[in-house]
Amino acid sequence: MAHNLGLCRQVIQKAIAAGAKALFLPEASDYIAGSAAETVSLVKSVQESEFVLGIQEEARRAKLPINVGVHEPTSGGQRVKNTLLWIDEAGEIVQRYQKLHLFDVEVEGGPIMRESDSVEPGNSILPPLNTPVGRVGLTICFDLRFPEISLALKRQNAQIITFPSAFTVPTGKAHWETLLRGRAIETQTYVLAGAQVGYHNQKRVSYGHSMIVSPWGEVLAELGGEDKGPEIITADIDLDEVQRIKILMPLLRRTDVYPEV
């Protein structure tokens, strides 16, 4: 976790140097463990996590809002929560989303993942949050495959949806860009997806390819799939463009035919 905090501090320095108004870090930025037991044994509350306290301190010092994926304890203690924190420019945690969909998949040509062995799923979609860069809807990684969350956030007037991730390599190659662009096109929002890249341990490697997609579905910025150390991508978020696309192509739902989500 100390190592990951060091990497995140480098990302934060790059974001500050680039003049970023907000920073979107990946899912599980605090750690990715080698087993379910290790995931549970490493977890700390945000008050006791050096990782979270360190990110809060950086946010406060730089007056930079930071969206970061971490693990948090559950009340039972058997499993953890996979959560996404919004830390505001004063360093305060002002929003906390708990991942709804857990990745229990035997990836063809890849690992067998059973996230639910160590993670307890969340139970709610949070209303988009007002931030200095726009109204942000929070989701995590595998949630990307369930358009219902994104559509619910669109209905609640999200202008940006974030998909912090640690995708597997085979599923990333097959689906990552298509899913992100699909979500951006159908929700007419900016899609921001900070992604982990490279090896976490001998068994686990992440696809990378952090991406920023416009409300028209255009890839505005993208990283590669090689671990070159901490990197960032940036884009201008133009909230008028969100409005313009909605007017240009009104997507009026037939909620008389199918349920509204």
Ligand X SMILES: O=C(O)CNC(=O)[C@H](CS)NC(=O)CCC(=O)C(=O)O
**Residues with a known catalytic role:** 27, 99, 141
Q: Residue from 11, 15, 32, 242 that binds ligand X (CB under 6 A)?
A: 32
Query: Which of 229, 160, 223, 151 minimizes the C-alpha distance to 194?
Result: 223
Q: Is 168 in the site for ligand X (CB under 6 A)?
A: yes
Kindly report the length of the chain: 261
**Rounded to whole angstroms, how far apart are CA atoms 21 and 209?**
21
The footprint of ligand X on residues 195-254 (CB under 6 A) is none
3-state secondary structure of 70: strand
Q: Residue from 103, 151, 191, 242 that binds ligand X (CB under 6 A)?
A: 103
Q: Is 27 in the site for ligand X (CB under 6 A)?
A: yes
Q: Is 171 in the site for ligand X (CB under 6 A)?
A: yes
Judged by beta carbon, residue 159 or residue 168, the one nearer ligand X is 168
Q: Residue from 11, 22, 24, 39 that binds ligand X (CB under 6 A)?
A: 39
Query: Which of 134, 138, 152, 99 minimizes the C-alpha distance to 236?
Result: 134
Contact window for ligand X (CB under 6 A) among 10-18, 154-162, 167-175, 186-194: 167-175
Judged by beta carbon, residue 82 or residue 162, the one nearer ligand X is 82
- Long-range contacts of residues 177-184, Cβ cutoff 8 Å, at least 24 apart: 177/209, 177/211, 177/219, 179/144, 179/145, 180/144, 180/211, 180/213, 181/213, 181/217, 181/219, 182/147, 182/217, 183/144, 183/147, 183/150, 183/213, 184/213, 184/214, 184/215, 184/216, 184/217
Judged by beta carbon, residue 151 or residue 205, the one nearer ligand X is 205
Q: Is 167 in the site for ligand X (CB under 6 A)?
A: yes
Which residue is closest to ligand X by CB?
Answer: 171
Is 26 in contact with 164 (CB distance < 8 Å)?
yes
Q: Is 95 in the site for ligand X (CB under 6 A)?
A: no
Shortest separation between residue 66's beta carbon and ligand X, angstroms:
18
Sign of the CA dihedral with 54 first, then 57, 62, and 65 last: positive
Q: Is 1 in the site for ligand X (CB under 6 A)?
A: no
The footprint of ligand X on residues 130-149 (CB under 6 A) is 141-142, 145
Helix or strand holding residue 236 (H, E): none
User: Which residues make up the interface to ligand X (CB under 6 A)?
Assistant: 27-28, 32, 39, 82, 103, 113, 115, 141-142, 145, 166-168, 171
